[in-house]
Amino acid sequence: MLELQHIGKRFGEREILKDISLSVEKGEIVSILGPSGCGKTTLLNLILGLTDITSGKIIYDGEDLSHVPMEKRGFNIVFQDFALFPNLNAYENIVYGLRNRPNASTKAEVEDLIDLLGLRKHLSQRIAELSGGQKQRVAIARTLVMKPRLLLLDEPLSALDGIIKESIKERIRGIARQFKLTTLIVTHDPEEALTLSDRVLIINNGQIAQFADPQTIIREPADDFIRRFILSQLMVKRTNILKLFSESIPKADSTVDAARAVSASAHRAQAAA
Ligand SMILES: Nc1ncnc2c1ncn2[C@@H]1O[C@H](COP(=O)(O)OP(=O)(O)OP(=O)(O)O)[C@@H](O)[C@H]1O
Ligand SMILES: [Mg+2]
């Protein structure tokens, strides 16, 4: 179990995080959601050990890690800017950590991740020759092969397109469940946070606005910020999608019917072309 006790962080005179206290169960997936600049990356860096806390404690399985160096914590991160090794190719980046811990993943598990993340064609490419989404997938693979006891992901899905994003969400969930990997995922997308995780930590002005499961956040938002910035975004999305479907397929009355109708009309359009 990860416990944060009254964590505070200042950069000079600026107070970035104030009195953050929470516990995360082993194997739990928690999303960290909040506006740009609210301190999400800072919080991950504090837990990772890359940045020092100003006050409070970080406890993992009863052990006080507050001032334990990063490499001794057994945590791993997918950085927001990927931080890949530019002098190595994609494959060498993916298996880099296995040099020190060769048993962290089997060969078959590495191959499986490469296929799942759609990286097979890109293995011998240099990092500078990859697109943003490809780099992001290499960064995810490189971290997942190590099966850290705490997995930290900073906006890991932001550069991915729809279908691959959904399959990677599934895989992150699957790996977290299978290996009982405690996972913290930063995102600024409420839909991603509420569909991916067991609980969502909402940060505003450096403080916890709410830490609860998705249903509770939707049914009982703790304050106006959550109502205005998070729930209203989801409602706008919901309204737009429903409007789109109801306008193009007036008679379809269920999602499955709607999807069939869309696919049938696409086939008709193709046949006519
Ligand atoms: N090393 C640093 N020195 C001084 N200020 C910093 C440092 N790192 C971050 N900050 C400040 O701390 C605040 C929080 O930054 P952080 O990167 O944690 O935000 P974030 O929530 O991850 O934002 P985004 O969604 O844009 O990634 C920002 O105002 C930032 O300017
Ligand atoms: Mg950030």
What's the 24 CA to ligand 1 centre distance in angstroms?
23
How far apart CA 177 and CA 3 sit, in angstroms, is: 20
Q: What is the pLDDT of residue 250?
A: 56
Q: What is the pLDDT of residue 246?
A: 83
Q: What is the pLDDT of residue 235?
A: 87
Three-class secondary structure of residue 257 per DSSP: helix
List Cβ neighbours of 163 (8 Å cut-off, separation of 6 or more): none
Ligand 1 touching residue 40 (CB < 6 A): yes
Ligand 1 touching residue 11 (CB < 6 A): yes
Q: Considering only CA atoms, which residue is closest to atom 5 of ligand 1? A: 11
Q: Which ligand is nearest to the CA of 52?
A: 1
How far apart CA 77 and CA 90 sit, in angstroms, is: 17
Q: Which atom of ligand 1 is nearest to the CA of 44?
A: 18
For each of the domains in the chain, give its residue range(s) and CATH number, in order of start: 2-221 (3.40.50.300), 223-273 (no CATH)
Ligand 1 touching residue 204 (CB < 6 A): no
> Which residues does the chain have with pLDDT short of 50?
252, 258-259, 261-262, 265-266, 268-273
DSSP 36: T
Q: Which ligand is nearest to the CA of 32?
A: 1
pTM of the predicted model as reported, rounded to 2 decimal places: 0.83
